[in-house]
Structure 1
Amino acid sequence: MRPPGPKGRPLVGNTIEYDQDRMGFLRRARAEYGDVFSFDDRTIVVFEPDLVHELLARTNGDFSSESSPVASRFDAERSAEDARLWMAARRAGWRGLNRASTQAHASRLGALFEQTVEESLGRPVDVLSMMKSFSGRATADFCLGHDAVGIPEVVEENTAALAPLAGSSQLFPEWLPSRKIARFRRAREQTLDSITDRIRRRSAEPAPEGPRDLLDVLLAVPDLTELQVQRLIRGILLAAYGVPAAAMTWTIWTLAVRPDLWDRVASEAATWNGPGIPPIAALPQTEAVVKEVLRLWPPTWLMGRTAMRPTALGEWTLRAEDQVMFSPYLVHRDPRWWPEPNEALPERWLDPTRTPRRHSYLPFGAGPRVCVGTQLGMLQLTLTTFWLARGFRVSAPAAAESRPEFHNLLVPTDFTASFQRAR
């Protein structure tokens, strides 16, 4: 049985109406058809948290998280094998990261943030572009350490080449004679070649006494192939170029339009007198603000999975290759699950009696393919917010005029600000 949904137009279905106003279309469809509706003959959209959780929990088994910016034939066996290789590399990498290597990255992260802000101190800047520069450098440092030089620029081009393809509801085959597709192919190959070159260069060096970065960790695992290491590092570099940048941009925007939250975070930052970098546990107010920003403005506002075989989700029947989509943004703002859902209330994360409804908070996804950078992302976002409030002041008089843009990522449009040193 298939759920009901808007019929759309002949040949193009609901694509035109959706692309004109993506969030408006989803809201209207949910209001008319409920928590599950058919977008087209091969795609359903789900809003119910337990169904979303079931979908994510069954990823790598009944559902695939594989996606492509170009049209390609879905191969369930290849997808399952790719998932197996990815998960093996991911488990090995995260097991090998220790407190020392994470603290070393956090120390370098502070210097990178200072450098990024210093480069534009005292003049209006596009905050998203500034944060992309910062997160690109930060993630390259985490993955490749001293071998990161030149990587942020390669990843930036790869991301820019992906954007016009990933942002379209229409997928075109990779063989199509198109400048956009040709640019995507060149950028992809340049990224893979750059990562492979660094893997081979590092492999030829004597092993360090302890891991300095993710590449050291992965190369110390005897069963991982060069391809697995390459894919994992590329995946992290691409994912962490835009998502943390969008999250940090929304954090700065929220602090700019809510001076009371800025004061709350700045007061907490001023009380830290310990040596080195504070642990996240010492920054409960700052962490709560970050969590609330991720609830209100999850950068990955739309996610999806592909059925690997005929199956069911709840009462709905799915065929192999059917798509299931869901929106963390709409789940996070559903008044059934969240009191005052459209208000920024960090205190909801500080009161143990106000725990969120189960499965209703998923800025990083869930299940076996939960975002590989969840812990790293929270570390980076919380510490960056700490450093921002402790060392700088932000002026953004037109911040309230920015509007959310639901494209590849959820970002605020035309958000500019100027940064000054705190006195």
Structure 2
Amino acid sequence: MTVPMTLDLPGAQEMSAGDAHAFASDPPAYLRRLQDLHGDVFRNGPGQVYVGRPELVQLLLARTNRDTSAEMDVLGDMRAPTRNQVEGWMRARRLASTAFREPAVTAHLGAVDRAVRAQLRAASSGTPFDPMDVAPEVFVHAALPFCMPGTDPAVAPAAVDAARTFLDVIENGMGAPPAQQRERQEAARSAKQALRDATDAVSAQDAPLVPGCPHTVVHATQELQPGVRSHVLTTVLSAASVVPGAALAWLFHELTRRPTETARIRDEARSLPDDLDGCALAEVLPYAQGFAKEVLRFHPPTWMTGRATGDPVDLGTHRLPPRQFVSFSPYLLHRDARWWDEPERFLPERWLGSHPPHAPHAYLPFGSGTRVCIATHLGVAVLAVAAARLASDHVVEAAGPLPVTSRFGVPMRPENLRIVLRDA
């Protein structure tokens, strides 16, 4: 039986000035209040639908590229991609993803460790700094061995700049006056081209396969046209910077607040072999891995996201019409007592059992479905290794005079966080 089209969902059909202010002041509290009033599916503005049940979110994500779209050309004319463009991009993603599968991360965990240690040593000056000024490059340097066979000192800062300018368009440019929007778009296009120039210079060297490493993104995408390969590589590198860097900034914050957990990570790190290549993360750093996953649960950088419906979409008892933007919040899902035990407690131990500590589909720091982050395993590995090296090799202290709060932007990042890092 066909579900009738749902046009009269409960909630706010229009967003008033008061609603806009409440959302801007405390977005999760505003959405939680509407959820308490209207249930797990409601409107929060014209053409805007919010979904708060994990199984419905999973249905939405599973339909990406069929009934829903995940992206628009925010640096161009805001059009959704054509079906052929989507199919081409998904093929490129599948090829690139082979460089980030769990066996590849295990085989080259030592490369992650060496990159993280070098970046942390460089930041360990005893001078207060904002982790968001450091963390994105830590992630890029850790991702580089999985992306390309050569190196260039220009690549990492170019990747961070490309990501920052692109995210600035999304966070600040969409509702800006046209002149400001065009200025931000041009800055993002220029930064993206600078990253492409830097990576093309390395890729053109046609370096041989790294011994023992069957794939980097460059090698895995060799069958693609050069322009497509370049686009894939620059997209992966920029994605591996600011957003996961926000998670690392939150990890810094949690280490300063949790001496007992930090000591446990330190004890675990003392048993690490000299070279982590070939080491399974869950075997050598189980508690640090749990700490990393709990940071991602407590502080998911992509705190809210969504999909645009291109065709009617069935979500439970609702059938949504086309041209709706359906949003959901990993931040709220991760803190909902219906899906988690003691969700307001920071408990790395919850990840040490043999079963997931949550209801199905209730943990989404990397998304899900066809557009799940291809570097999920690498992201957790970088955070876990960083936790181990910070706890064992450094002293991490909070230095800011103001309380640390969450800035619910793109990405969600810590506000007022200042860190002093010293060698242990």
TM-score range, shorter chain: 0.7 to 0.9
Matches of 1:365 and 1:357, distance apart in 2: 15
User: Contact (CA 8 Å) 2:68, 2:308: kept in 1 or not?
Assistant: yes
- Which of 23, 27, 33 aligns to 1:18? It is 23
2:242 alignment counterpart: 242
Identity %: 28
Q: Which amino acid aligns with 1:94?
A: S
- Which of 48, 54, 60 aligns to 1:49? It is 54
1:272 alignment counterpart: 272
- Which of 295, 300, 303 aligns to 2:302? It is 300
1:132 aligns with 2:139: no
How well do the aligned residues superpose, as a CA RMSD in angstroms?
2.9
Flag structure 2 segments of 5+ consecutive residues without an equivalent. 1-5
2:150 alignment counterpart: 146
Cα 1:169/1:274, change in 2 over 3 Å: closer
Q: Which moved more, 1:46-55 or 1:108-117?
A: 108-117
Correspondence list, 1:92-131, <5 A = 92-95=95-98, 102=105, 106-120=109-123, 121-131=125-135
Cα 1:91/1:183, change in 2 over 3 Å: same
1:188 alignment counterpart: 189
Matches of 1:241 and 1:315, distance apart in 2: 39
Correspondence list, 1:16-415, <5 A = 16-69=21-74, 72=77, 74-75=79-80, 78-95=81-98, 102=105, 106-120=109-123, 121-168=125-172, 170-171=174-175, 176-178=178-180, 180-192=181-193, 194-195=195-196, 198-199=199-200, 202-203=203-204, 205=206, 207-208=208-209, 214-219=216-221, 221-222=222-223, 224-273=224-273, 275-277=275-277, 278-280=279-281, 281-352=283-354, 355-396=357-398, 401-415=403-417
Flag structure 1 segments of 5+ consecutive residues without an equivalent. none
Q: Which moved more, 1:94-103 or 1:374-383?
A: 94-103
Count of matched residue pairs: 414
1:5 alignment counterpart: 11
Deviations 1:15-39 (A, max 9, x none): 4542333222212211211111111
Report deviation, 1:326. 0.3
Deviations 1:210-259 (A, max 9, x none): 5587343235x32x122331232222222221122111111121121111
Matches of 1:236 and 1:382, distance apart in 2: 20
Q: Which amino acid aligns with 2:118?
A: Q
Matches of 1:354 and 1:378, distance apart in 2: 16
Cα 1:393/1:417, change in 2 over 3 Å: same
Q: Given the two structures, how large is their TM-score scaled by the length of structure 1?
A: 0.87
Matches of 2:182 and 2:293, distance apart in 1: 37
Q: Which amino acid aligns with 1:132?
A: P
Q: Which amino acid aligns with 1:346?
A: P
Q: Which amino acid aligns with 1:291?
A: K
Q: Given the two structures, how large is their TM-score scaled by the length of structure 2?
A: 0.87
